[in-house]
Structure 1
């Protein structure tokens, strides 16, 4: 791993996708840091294996980077192109390249952390469960 706080490295991303240009490597390094931070916002991130965190991190970064690529990016499902009698149609699930996790990945990580409100019994000093 490139950074002790990151769950993947640029080398991990390249090994699971394709060789990156120098410009892509710079962007990937930053996106990996962002994805690692995003993963930590889930309840069970520390309970899953290192490989699972690496896989989810690389997948999120790849989706964000593919949204910027030319042609039809991964996850494209409405864009129409016509050349003579030929036509291709795509619809974009992540057109802005946002860094996000799929619902299945969120489930693996135990869902988002929830803030719970509670109350304090002033006469006893005990916390009353929400």
Structure 2
């Protein structure tokens, strides 16, 4: 079995996790670890355990927050508007389905290098 990058206890230190969500959070942390491994090639994945922990927790927090926010029947809705007379409110949800994903900034933090490389092309044709 692959290493899980964070535990529920570590997640709880960073974010509010209800006792009813602990079992789900345990599974999501395992899934988040798998997503990290599949998104970042093994030779580029950082060895820093703390960064791995922080990123896994952030991914799970987003998924749990989406289920809390959208638990009232709005699951899958990416935008909503409510209007009464001349007043209206609009919402755009960042993660309406509660997916586990890595942002570009998180991918950069998880990589050993920036991914930028330099090269030289000899145009003189020696």
Structure 2 length as normaliser, TM-score? 0.69
1: CA distance between counterparts of 2:91 and 2:69? Answer: 13
Aligned to 1:91: 92
Q: Does 1:27 align with 2:28?
A: no
Which of 5, 8, 13 is the equivalent residue of 2:6?
8
2: CA distance between counterparts of 1:79 and 1:8? Answer: 34
Structure 1 length as normaliser, TM-score? 0.67
Aligned to 2:50: 51
Aligned to 1:38: 35
**Structure 1 residues 71, 32: CA separation in 2 closer, same or farther (over 3 Å shift)?**
closer
2: CA distance between counterparts of 1:51 and 1:86? Answer: 46
Structure 2 unaligned segments of length 5 or more: list them.
72-77, 113-126
Secondary structure of the residue that 2:79 maps to in structure 1?
Answer: coil
> Which of the pair is proportionally richer in helix?
2
Aligned to 1:70: 69
* Number of residue pairs the alignment of both structures matches: 104
2: CA distance between counterparts of 1:92 and 1:108? Answer: 25
Check whether the contact 2:51–2:110 (CA below 8 A) recurs between aligned residues: no
Structure 1 unaligned segments of length 5 or more: list them.
112-130
Over the aligned positions, Cα root-mean-square deviation in angstroms equals 2.8
1:40-84 CA-partner distances (Å, limit 9, x unpaired): 121222x24111000000000011111111369xxxx83223467
